[in-house]
Structure 1
Amino acid sequence: MASLSNPVQGDTSITVSRGLAGWLEANRTSLAFTSYQTGQLFLVGVLPNGSISFNQQNFSRAMGLCGDGDRLWVGSLFQLWRLEDMLREGELANGSFDACFVPREAHTTGDIDIHEIGILADGRPVFVNTKYSCLATTDPVHSFRPLWRPDFISKLAGEDRCHLNGLAMADGAPAYVTAVSQTDVLSGWRARREHGGVVIEVATGRIVTDELSMPHSPRLVDGRLYALDSGRGQLIAVDPETGRRQDIAFCPGFLRGLAIHNGHAIVTASKPRDGSFKELALQAEIEKRDGEAWCGVFVVNLRHGDIVEWIKLDGAIAELFDLVALPELRCPMSLGISTVEIQNTITFENS
């Protein structure tokens, strides 16, 4: 069991399934996930002695997360951060870490509630600007540059009208997004949590399905579209043509953040803020199964829908947000923006 301490938020204990280290090694990946509740980026890998490493750094209201080779993008309270792996091939940091992600640039967006992030074909980031109900990218002068919005959104306004939240990329372009509703009024989605969640095809504006409950995190992999039907606690596949939903696995928590890697889905789950999920079908399903909501990470085998490995957080951290797999990295770390290490770690190109 690992234990993390935050002087403001209190202690959190972390337990993992017995086979997690072996799974990470066998599938040649490590993981990164965020907690906006406590403002932290976690990097998870396997140390040389075979134990699990949790590297924890602070980014205020850390939410959207994107892995792009030797680069990580992190959306925070009012900035979009670019982190770069400073290590050369074959180098290790502190004798154990085969990647060290250093914050190199922050684009100031203001508080626009950045959710998920992708990378365009030209290398620019594209992100879900939830507060303004659109997809956007960075702008050298302004807070953001709008790129697309759903047809039912009549204007760009900082009103979080439909709770646009998830983004699936394909060939360097946005392919699908998720939203909690098709409402076009201030916070209208809050009255539509149980039904009416949508997957939208970006290129055409077509509503693929409108029968989901608080959907998040669409992912298009090998022509198959996955998503999280979060209000029901289900990892699902959605037929892009018919919108038909296929349940793959139930996970006991509110699901946000999804990575597909080597025949597995890796998803984050959060506990309810007020002790129950109230009107959501998720609450009734957990009670029917005589269970409790988790805060953690589930690894699901996509072939049979079983949860094969897991990470569980208990204590101060009760909500997670986004997650990415980091293929070919065994044990990554990062430097925090307010640490002594970042002040004293200086690198430059040496021919």
Structure 2
Amino acid sequence: MTPPPPFSYTYSPNMPELLLGLKCSVAISTYQTGKVVLFSAKDENQLIQLPRNFDKPMGLALENGKLAIATRDELIITTNAPGMARNYPANPNTYDSLFIPRVTYHTGTLDLHDITYSNKGLVGVNTLFSCLSTFDSDFSFKNFWKPHFITELKPEDRCHLNGLAIDKEGNPKYVTALGHGDQGREWKDKMLEGGILMDVESNSIIGDKLPVPHSPRIYNDGLWMLLSATGEVVKVNVADGKYDVVTKLNGFVRGMDRIGDYLFVATSKLRPNSSLFKEAPVAKNSVVCGISVIYIPTGQPCGHILYQTSVEELFDLKILPGMMRPNVLNHAKQMHKSSVITEQEVFWAQPEKEENKESVTS
């Protein structure tokens, strides 16, 4: 048997129709393969994926036509230019949206996890320095908030702060971490049962002994969260920190977004030689990597996309509402440098003809 080609995937028959009906596409980040991948419906029967290379992409943030991507040592802000999409030189009359790099913050290595737009601007979970950070042109980051048990900002990943939820007013509201120690990587000691949920405003722990919490998200009906070690999708009662399990998936769940009554959850395989997760309840069943769609009224999975090759670990997932065939440019092929966007018009630079080029000698 010939093995499937790299980045092969399968999907449930209803996925193309579901994305068409919801009028959206899906973006995922996979730091393991160094890509941001966009999934769209080609028609009612076919999906299409568009992978783009980024250096260890992690958190994704979307707001007002901007898609931010946290990478190994940069925070890249891309902006949607629909007028450029239609005339994209490599594939014209194909895309309805095109995210083009506009700003890059050279942050240095911070191990940024979740990032999100807030009323404070773009906020990132700065895992290495155990704090929430904002960004500008003066520093690698500015400390916006840190847990009360973190005594100083050092690049020691003391509690593995990883997730951030924004409330309806745009305030950073809840964070998740894998522990509450104040020493370098102390969270590893009891990682599978030492996770916490914190209220940012009160700087207090409202839930503890959580099995590897990730991806807290506030929706109209409350706070949702993923428990990676058990594969559970949960709703949290913030008054007492207790939670109800909505559904359980066969995978290490991390990365979640919602549109209407549908919840999209990213699942990852666990590394066979992982010493950190080998005792996790989900370890034996964590054999698929991809996207699961949950129909919220029933709590049941109703669709999926599963990778067969190449991709084993995902970090984040974002719904791209109203975008049926999006594209995103990176820095690798320099295509973004051919774009010129003004407040009134957009242009793709024309390649210079050889006879118009000046000869330069030294």
Question: What does residue 32 of structure 1 align with?
Answer: 27
CA distance in 1: counterparts of 2:206 and 2:4, whole angstroms: 42
CA distance in 2: counterparts of 1:58 and 1:112, whole angstroms: 20
Query: How many pairs are equivalent?
Result: 337
Aligned in 2, Cα 1:49/1:246: closer, same or farther, shift over 3 Å?
A: closer
8 Å contact kept, 2:195–2:212: yes
1:299-338 correspondence runs (5 A): 299-338=293-332
CA distance in 2: counterparts of 1:49 and 1:249, whole angstroms: 27
CA distance in 2: counterparts of 1:49 and 1:259, whole angstroms: 22
8 Å contact kept, 1:193–1:231: no
Question: What does residue 39 of structure 2 align with?
Answer: 44
* Unaligned runs of at least 5 residues, structure 2: 346-362
Q: CA RMSD in A?
A: 2.0
Question: What does residue 296 of structure 1 align with?
Answer: 290
Residue 69 of structure 1 and its aligned partner are, at CA, apart by 2.6
Residue 293 of structure 1 and its aligned partner are, at CA, apart by 1.5
**In structure 1, the residue corresponding to 2:297 is in which secondary structure?**
coil
CA distance in 2: counterparts of 1:90 and 1:184, whole angstroms: 48
CA distance in 2: counterparts of 1:293 and 1:193, whole angstroms: 21
Question: What does residue 203 of structure 1 align with?
Answer: 201
Question: What does residue 217 of structure 2 align with?
Answer: 219
Question: What does residue 104 of structure 1 align with?
Answer: 102
Residue 118 of structure 1 and its aligned partner are, at CA, apart by 1.2
Is it true that 1:127 corresponds to 2:124 in the alignment?
yes
Aligned in 2, Cα 1:4/1:340: closer, same or farther, shift over 3 Å?
A: farther
Question: What does residue 289 of structure 1 align with?
Answer: none
Residue 341 of structure 1 and its aligned partner are, at CA, apart by 3.0
Decide which moves more: 100-109 or 82-91: 82-91
Letter in 1 for 2:307: L
Question: What does residue 351 of structure 2 align with?
Answer: none
Deviations 1:283-326 (A, max 9, x none): 25x2xxxxx52111111112222111111112222111101111
**In structure 2, the residue corresponding to 1:193 is in which secondary structure?**
helix
- 4+ residue runs over 3 A deviation: 88-93, 343-351
CA distance in 1: counterparts of 2:229 and 2:32, whole angstroms: 19
1:106-255 correspondence runs (5 A): 106-121=104-119, 124-170=121-167, 171-255=169-253
Residue 139 of structure 1 and its aligned partner are, at CA, apart by 2.7
Deviations 1:83-118 (A, max 9, x none): 111113995752121111111111011100000011
Deviations 1:110-141 (A, max 9, x none): 1000000111225x200100000000010321
Aligned in 2, Cα 1:214/1:337: closer, same or farther, shift over 3 Å?
A: same
Is it true that 1:348 corresponds to 2:346 in the alignment?
no
**In structure 2, the residue corresponding to 1:88 is in which secondary structure?**
helix
**In structure 2, the residue corresponding to 1:192 is in which secondary structure?**
helix
- 2:56 is matched with which residue: 57, 61, 85? 61
CA distance in 1: counterparts of 2:198 and 2:8, whole angstroms: 38
- Greater Rg over alpha carbons, structure: 2
**In structure 2, the residue corresponding to 1:63 is in which secondary structure?**
coil
Decide which moves more: 241-250 or 267-276: 267-276
Deviations 1:4-60 (A, max 9, x none): 97xxxxx22111111101111111221111001111111111235753121111110
**In structure 2, the residue corresponding to 1:194 is in which secondary structure?**
helix
Letter in 2 for 1:131: L
Decide which moves more: 74-83 or 206-215: 206-215
CA distance in 1: counterparts of 2:94 and 2:300, whole angstroms: 32
8 Å contact kept, 1:48–1:96: no
Question: What does residue 278 of structure 1 align with?
Answer: 278
CA distance in 2: counterparts of 1:345 and 1:54, whole angstroms: 23
**In structure 1, the residue corresponding to 2:282 is in which secondary structure?**
helix
- 1:258 is matched with which residue: 245, 256, 259? 256
Letter in 2 for 1:74: I
Residue 214 of structure 1 and its aligned partner are, at CA, apart by 0.8
* Unaligned runs of at least 5 residues, structure 1: 6-10, 287-291
Question: What percentage of aligned pairs have identical amino acids?
Answer: 31
